[in-house]
Amino acid sequence: MASDLPTDLLEQIFLHLEDAADLARASAACASFRRVISNGRFLRRFRSRHRPPVLGLLENRGGGKIRFRPIQSPRRSALAAGACADAADFTFRFIPGPNRCCWGVVRDARDGRVLLSRYKRLWHTLHRRPPLLIVCDPLHRRHVEIPPIPDDLLDAAATTSTDHDGGDPDDLRRLEFEPFLAPAPSAADEDQVVDELSSFQVICNALSGTMLVTFAFSSASRQWRAVASFSNPNYVMKNLCSLWFRQPANGFYWTCFSENFMLVLDTREMKFFVVSDIPEKSNGRSKIVVEAAGEGRLGLLLLLEDKLELYSRAWQGNNNGGVVVDQEWRHDKTVRMFAGLWNLSGTTNGYAFLRWLPRDHVQRWEEAHYFTVDLKTLLVERLCVLEFINVPKFLYASFPPPLSPPTV
Mention every residue, 6+ apart, whose C-beta is less than 8 A from residue 338.
Answer: 306, 356
Q: What is the per-residue pLDDT across 214-256, written as a single tens digit (0 to 9) for each?
A: 999 999 999 999 999 888 777 766 656 545 556 555 678 887 7
The pairing of beta strand 271-275 with beta strand 323-324:
parallel
Comparing CA positions, the residue from 407, 338, 399, 296 lying closest to residue 22 is 399
User: Residue 291's pLDDT band (boundaries 50, 70, 90)?
Assistant: confident
**For residue 331, pLDDT beyond 70:** yes
Produce one character per residue of 70-89: b if its CB has 16 or more CB atoms within 10 Å, e if not: bbbeebebbbbbbbbbeebe
pTM of the model: 0.87
- pLDDT band with cut points at 50, 70 and 90 for residue 125: very low
Rounded Cα distance between 291 and 249, Å, is 7
Q: Give the whole-angstrom CA distance, residue 174 versus residue 133.
A: 19
pLDDT above 80 for 370: yes
Asked if residue 69 lies in contact with residue 79, where contact means CB atoms within 8 angstroms, the answer is no
Alpha carbon distance 17, 10 (integer Å):
11
DSSP one-letter string for 16-57? T-S-HHHHHHHHHH-HHHHHHHT-HHHHHHHHHHSPPPEEEE
Is 191 strand, coil or helix? coil
State the pLDDT confidence band at 94, using cuts at 50, 70 and 90: very high
Indicate if the pLDDT at residue 65 is higher than 60. Answer: yes
User: Residues 199-223: pLDDT tens digits?
Assistant: 899 999 888 767 888 999 999 999 9
